[in-house]
């Protein structure tokens, strides 16, 4: 089963985002993300947050109220809530926005999910972001941009298949841009990594 967390970040093309949802998804809403739920025409299973970002709260379902002063963001608490349940995959929408501190932190939350052995994606109208594991498959179409970015140190032993600029047991160095803006030569590309931690971003302008 799949859980979807809807945050309070940027969301412009609601028809595109709605196309990423399944009827069977378990929807968790983080605080001000409720405005996106209303625009998408969906009712979350639970609304979690300190409610400091909700202007018009007419939600009549389960609410978990959080204090304004706390150690973790509403988004991370929603993630921890979902990780306690038996979901195979977690999709995070509205997790990218103008606050770079929140955006960067949200991307790094993918590590928590990977540590639990689950799949996860942060998706907006332009990006599909995932943690890079040992074996990775990216689905898209020919010409889609794919970037492989180290986040804690060098990524070593990278071998790719289905990308225009192939890597064969090579290293991407933290702080360098070599892994940015490759592009797919078919509808599937595969990226194998021997060591290191990074993210893979399929993106479009």
Domain count of the chain?
A: 2
pLDDT of res. 119: 94
Show which of 85, 103, 125 is a domain's final residue. 125
84 shares a domain with 136: no
**Residue showing tokens 């064969």:** 168
Give DSSP secondary structure letters for 102-150: HHHHHHHTHHHHHHTT-EEEEE-SSEEEEEE-SEEEEE--TT-EEEEEE
116 shares a domain with 74: yes
Structure confidence by residue, pLDDT tens digits, 164-180: 999 999 999 999 999 99
Q: Which range marks the domain in which residue 100 is found?
A: 2-125
Give DSSP secondary structure letters for 21-67: --TT-EEEEEGGGHHHHHHHT---SEEEE--SS-SS----SEEEE--
Reported pTM? 0.93
Q: pLDDT at residue 58 above 90?
A: no
Structure confidence by residue, pLDDT tens digits, 79-134: 999 999 989 999 999 999 999 999 999 999 999 999 999 999 999 999 999 999 99
pLDDT of res. 118: 94
Show which of 72, 106, 125 is a domain's final residue. 125
Structure confidence by residue, pLDDT tens digits, 122-166: 999 999 999 999 999 999 999 999 999 999 999 999 999 999 999
């Amino acid at each position: 089963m799949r859980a979807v967390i809807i945050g309070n970040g940027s969301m412009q093309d609601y028809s595109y985002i709605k196309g990423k949802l399944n009827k069977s998804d378990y929807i968790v809403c983080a605080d001000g993300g409720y405005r996106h739920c209303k625009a998408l025409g969906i009712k979350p299973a639970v609304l979690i947050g300190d409610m400091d970002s909700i202007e018009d709260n007419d939600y009549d379902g389960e609410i978990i109220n959080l204090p304004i002063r706390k150690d973790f963001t509403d988004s991370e608490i929603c993630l921890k809530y979902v990780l306690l349940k038996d979901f195979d995959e977690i999709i995070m929408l509205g997790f990218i926005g103008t606050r770079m501190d929140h955006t960067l932190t949200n991307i790094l939350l993918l590590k928590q999910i990977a540590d639990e052995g689950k799949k996860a994606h942060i998706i907006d109208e332009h990006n599909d972001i995932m943690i890079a594991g040992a074996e990775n498959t990216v689905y898209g179409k020919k010409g889609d941009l794919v970037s492989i970015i180290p986040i804690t140190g060098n990524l070593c032993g990278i071998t790719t298949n289905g990308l225009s600029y192939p890597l064969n047991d090579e290293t991407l160095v933290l702080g360098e841009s070599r892994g940015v803006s490759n592009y797919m030569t078919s509808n599937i590309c595969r990226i194998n990594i021997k060591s290191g931690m990074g993210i893979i971003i399929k993106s479009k302008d």
